[in-house]
A and B are shown apart, each in its own frame.
Chain A
Amino acid sequence: MRASTREAWLKSALVLPPLAWTLVFMFVPYAIMFTYSFYTRKYPTFVPDFQFGNYIALFQDVQYRQVFLRTLKIASLVSLFALLLSYPVAYCLVFKIRSLRLRMALYMAVIVPLWVSYLLRAYTWKTILGSQGVLNSFLVWAGILAQPTDLLLYNQFSMVITLVHIFIPFMFMPIFTSLEKIPRSLIEASKDLGVGRGWTFLKITLPLSLPGVMAGFTFTFCLSFGDFVAPFLVGGPDGFMIANIVQSQFGTALNWPLGSAISIAILAIVLTVISISDRFERSGRLDLG
């Protein structure tokens, strides 16, 4: 075998398996789902068809629209709170902590929860916020509440808390990286030019860390938009999200065509968010070297 053919063969041997994997387990299912979204439901089965009834139902039915908007709201709130919590922490780690070892230790402290099972983290909040939970027991013990409240769990509040906790590393990591990439000399140059701390942050540090904020926001938003476990565990009837609807369409409701149509809609939203943020990031990508 000639060296060049051998090399080409090796290259394709490297590329083909993952390519085949994504093709068989991602694109093919998506294609099937896409086809299903045009089917008609004939209880208890579905018949092949090409009609837009499922999509029309999606927009006309108030219930679906409500859940869509709620999901948007919760995903936005989760991203917002994750941002407000992550940014100051990342900023402190990068700029205030001089010891590299301490910085890495604290960084790991934020990241380590990722290694704990997702389900476990969601359950933890159930035990913290429940009416017999840690928080209630404490509030009653401290005399702040006369009796346990059930206001803490099974609502949008508990969902946002849980999802923020679960997805915060995805916000924190890109922000930390983007802050760490900013050369210290830029901050010093700003101060050297007579600019105080506040304006230096607003004019130099913040704009240069925006790519990280964008990336973190995209991750957190997309992940919480499609989440269905947290609503299931801590959401209650008020906290149902769009992914739960999908789940029920494929499950108890036995309406695969509608479930497929909703899934395609979710996919479209998430892809839009990703491409917008990608464009932002590209245009804002700067030469920090």
Chain B
Amino acid sequence: MNAISLTHLTKSFPTAGRVVDDLTLRVRQGEFITLLGPSGCGKTTTLRLIAGFEFPDSGSVSVAGTDVTDVPPYRRPVNTVFQDYALFPHMNVEQNVGYGMWVARLPKREISERVAAALQMVGLSEKAAARPSELSGGQKQRVALARAIVRRPKVLLLDEPLSALDAKLREAMQVELRHLHRKLGITFLLVTHDQSEAMVMSDRILIMEAGKVVQDGSPLDLYDSPASPYVADFLGTSNLIPGNVHATELDSIRVKAVDALFRVRTRGRSLPTSANVTLAIRPEKTEVIAPESSPVGTPAQLTGRIIEHFFHGGMLRTAIDIGLPLPFLVDTQIKSAAMQGQQLPPGSPCRLRVDEDSIVAFAGSHRP
């Protein structure tokens, strides 16, 4: 039985057009799944269709084996953590968390026990009597979470829950959400535009574009074998460079791109000789080397000129002009103090050594 099952789901809005377009999706019980995409890709509408805040034009929604397509939100076995937390300002933390059970007239003792348990689970027991206005952003987030899990839903929907938190807190909450997911065994469906958040937390990521899922897989699958230049650039960073197939071999091709010749695995794609291709090269799978350190003319090497270094703390990002409109980016881990300050200065010529196994080739030329 699937926790969530969406079948040919379509939803249009008068001004925005078709936001969700023939979406079919199965989520297994207990999975942590993420809908990832830029704003306007239909991910939030999909979540709202599952929660029952919107109703589809066609297609069906079922949760835990029951068709809920026409069921109002208050009769669906799902709960939502809202982007703005949506805490009731006229109730304290305890009342917020117990609200649903209180209106449902559950026994007082059961309510207070379950509220206490939920607050303890999010580590906020001592704030039970506080008003939402007295809480910090992170604490509000926890109350929203406690309120959503206290009813033991079959599915927990999280609508960009961490976007209002600062970076440090966001990372801490990512870890906590994952632990909470493991502890509760509930199916989590997260909607986010933050690719690193998606990769850290999810079992499975669905990348959405214009109302459709463009790729579906584990974070590792998506990162290592993106199905399109769009995915390659959305998940992490990729240098997309145009090339031309020079020769074909059994399961690889030789691609001439800029001034280099790469041997690239085809990964089952049909890329005939002289076809135009786009190569996706990860910044961290590339190494900047001094021009004299390697014999000139070795294939699989690009040449360029260093434009600028960006210091990111543990990592250094270097922008290199290789004669394309966009600079080529290279990430270097700074593993030792000795490496600090050893970089080639801006303006100096350099060579780039690319790990050929990690290159992904796509048919056609792609304009970023």
| B is bound to A | yes
7 A-B pairs with least C-beta separation: A193-B100, A185-B86, A189-B86, A287-B133, A286-B89, A191-B73, A194-B100
Check A193 against B89 for contact (C-beta < 8 Å): no
Taking the complex as formed, is A192 at the interface, i.e. its CB lies under 8 A from any CB of chain B? yes
Tell me whether A188 and B88 are in contact in the complex, defined as CB-CB below 8 angstroms, given that A193-B79, A193-B147, A196-B74 are known contacts: no
A188–B82 CA distance with the chains assembled, in angstroms: 9
Check A192 against B132 for contact (C-beta < 8 Å): no
Inter-chain pairs besides A183-B86, A190-B88, A204-B88, 5 sampled, C-beta below 8 Å: A186-B88, A188-B73, A194-B100, A208-B89, A286-B133
B-side contacts of A237, CB under 8 Å: none
A208–B78 CA distance with the chains assembled, in angstroms: 25
Taking the complex as formed, is B69 at the interface, i.e. its CB lies under 8 A from any CB of chain A? no
Check B104 against A194 for contact (C-beta < 8 Å): yes
Most buried by B among A191, A193, A284, A287: A193
Query: Chain A 186-228 against B: per-residue CB contact (8 Å), 1 yes, 0 no?
Result: 1011111111100100011001100000000000000000000
A287–B135 CA distance with the chains assembled, in angstroms: 12
How many B residues touch the partner, as a band? 20 to 34
A194–B147 CA distance with the chains assembled, in angstroms: 12
A-side contacts of B311, CB under 8 Å: none
Q: What distance in Å separates the Cβ of A282 from its nearest Cβ neighbour in chain B? A: 14
Chain A: which residue is nearest B84 at the CB level? Answer: A185
Most buried by A among B72, B90, B104, B132: B90
Q: What distance in Å separates the Cβ of A283 from its nearest Cβ neighbour in chain B? A: 11
Q: What distance in Å separates the Cβ of A181 from its nearest Cβ neighbour in chain B? A: 11
Q: What distance in Å separates the Cβ of A111 from its nearest Cβ neighbour in chain B? A: 27
A-side contacts of B239, CB under 8 Å: none
Other-chain residue from A185, A186, A191, A207 in contact with B74 (beta carbon distance below 8 A): A191
Question: What are 16 A-B interface contacts by the 8 Å CB criterion?
Answer: A185-B83, A188-B80, A189-B87, A189-B147, A190-B99, A191-B53, A191-B72, A192-B73, A193-B100, A193-B147, A193-B151, A194-B100, A195-B103, A195-B104, A196-B72, A196-B74
B-side contacts of A183, CB under 8 Å: 84, 86
A-side contacts of B51, CB under 8 Å: 188, 192
A286–B100 CA distance with the chains assembled, in angstroms: 21
Other-chain residue from B74, B99, B132, B147 in contact with A203 (beta carbon distance below 8 A): B99
Other-chain residue from A189, A203, A284 in contact with B80 (beta carbon distance below 8 A): A189
Q: What distance in Å separates the Cβ of B89 from its nearest Cβ neighbour in chain A? A: 4
B-contacting residues, A269-289, CB 8 Å: 284, 286-288
B-side contacts of A195, CB under 8 Å: 74, 99-100, 103-104
Check B132 against A287 for contact (C-beta < 8 Å): yes
Chain A: which residue is nearest B159 at the CB level? Answer: A185
A192–B48 CA distance with the chains assembled, in angstroms: 11
Q: What distance in Å separates the Cβ of B81 from its nearest Cβ neighbour in chain A? A: 10
Query: Chain A 73-91 against B: per-residue CB contact (8 Å), 1 yes, 0 no?
Result: 0000000000000000000
Check A188 against B53 for contact (C-beta < 8 Å): yes
Check A192 against B74 for contact (C-beta < 8 Å): yes
Tell me whether A189 and B88 are in contact in the complex, defined as CB-CB below 8 angstroms, given that A194-B100, A195-B103, A203-B99 are known contacts: yes
Check A203 against B103 for contact (C-beta < 8 Å): yes
A-side contacts of B87, CB under 8 Å: 189
A208–B75 CA distance with the chains assembled, in angstroms: 24
Tell me whether A287 and B89 are in contact in the complex, defined as CB-CB below 8 angstroms, given that A199-B103, A203-B99 are known contacts: yes
A-side contacts of B148, CB under 8 Å: 192
Chain B: which residue is nearest A198 at the CB level? Answer: B103
Query: Chain A 140-180 against B: per-residue CB contact (8 Å), 1 yes, 0 no?
Result: 00000000000000000000000000000000000000000
Q: What distance in Å separates the Cβ of B337 from its nearest Cβ neighbour in chain A? A: 46
Chain B: which residue is nearest A188 at the CB level? Answer: B53
